[in-house]
Amino acid sequence: MTVTHLAERANQHQDYFSRMFFQYAGIRPLAYIHEKRIERAQYLLTTTNMSYAEVAAETGFENLPHFSRIFKKATSLTPGQYRQQNQSVNTLQ
């Protein structure tokens, strides 16, 4: 899923689509896409034993460093820290 793909699906130029998306949603399309990918990654990190590279690939990130950078920007934690923190919460329950 890319901004270009979404714009094409809406039959709009990418720049116009981005402006309209921001106007109505209050968030840039790429930020929204990243947000949804990170939400999915959080789910996978807490419910599976997939490697970080597998989670990155499954959620549409091109490589592990990019995934880790976006994940940390969104959650303030690395994927490893997030998994470790969440596993300790799950074991307490």
Question: pLDDT tens digits for 38-69?
Answer: 999 999 999 999 999 999 999 999 899 999 99
DSSP codes joined into one string, 32-93? HHHHHHHHHHHHHHHH----HHHHHHHTT-SSHHHHHHHHHHHHSS-HHHHHHHHHHHHHH-
The model's pTM = 0.80
Read off φ and ψ for residue 70, nearest 5 degrees: -65, -40
Interval 4-32: pLDDT, tens: 888 999 899 999 999 999 999 999 999 99
pLDDT at residue 1, as a whole number: 78
Per-residue pLDDT, 31: 92
Q: Which domains does the chain have, with CATH numbers?
A: 29-92 (1.10.10.60)
